[in-house]
Amino acid sequence: MGKNDRYVVKHEDGWAVKKPGAERASSIHRTQHEAEQSAKNTVANLGGGEVRIQGRDGQWRDSDTVSPGNDPCPPHDRKH
Specify the pLDDT at position 1.
Answer: 65
* Edge-first strand listing for the sheet containing 49-54: 27-29, 14-18, 6-11, 49-54, 60-66
The pLDDT tens digits of the residues spanning 20-50 come to 999 999 999 999 999 999 999 999 999 999 9
**Residue 74 dihedral angles phi and psi, to the nearest 5°:** -65, 145
Once rounded to an integer, what is the mean pLDDT over residues 6-26?
96
Whether 77 shows a pLDDT value over 70: the answer reads no
Domain ranges in the chain are 6-66
Portion of the chain with pLDDT greater than 70, in percent: 82
Model-wide pTM > 0.75: yes
Whether 12 shows a pLDDT value over 90: the answer reads yes
Considering only residues 52 and 70, tell me which one the structure prediction assigns the higher pLDDT: 52
